Structure 1
Amino acid sequence: MLLIGMILNHFKKIFNELQGNYLNIAPPMLLENINHLIRGANNIKGCFRTHYYGTANPQLLETISAVLEHLNQSSKIMQSYINKHHEKDK
């Protein structure tokens, strides 16, 4: 029983540490994922412009552009959030 109690306390400490670090870890990871999505959307848009120029569905290009605009805005917001938290940490 004592061993189980020690193990549970150890896991509680680890969990509390992870929970405390989450706000430091999550925003950069989210920003990285947003930037991956931006690169992917740019690649898709580039493929349609290069290979199917003139035959691409204009609505598809508009949709991709709207998604890119939203992702770019999200990236700016997340970067601003990260910068503000770094300033507070100084």
Structure 2
Amino acid sequence: MKAIWNGITIAESDDTVVVEGNHYFPPESLKREYTTFSNHRTSCPWKGQAQYLSLLVNGEMNPDAVWYYAEPSEAAKEIKGRYAFWKGVKVVE
């Protein structure tokens, strides 16, 4: 699977975990040079608190386009530290 935004592959892996239709990529697959800080947080009743990263690619910012659960609930432990994408990021095979 590949996560692509603004013509650049942000993450690529054969080892994704699918939860609620979202592919969660392993941490080592994320190309950190395209991510930047976000202080955005959300809470899921069953997964826990999500933290976010923004993308910066070719001079364009995509705020809060990446999320992850650093300390998910026991029910969501399989996605701990993995990254998922939205806001125009295409996830394709």
Q: Which has the higher contact order (CA 8 A, sep 6+)?
A: 1
The answer to which structure has the higher strand fraction is 2
**TM-score, with normalisation over the residues of structure 1?**
0.20
**TM-score, with normalisation over the residues of structure 2?**
0.19
The answer to which structure has the higher helix fraction is 1
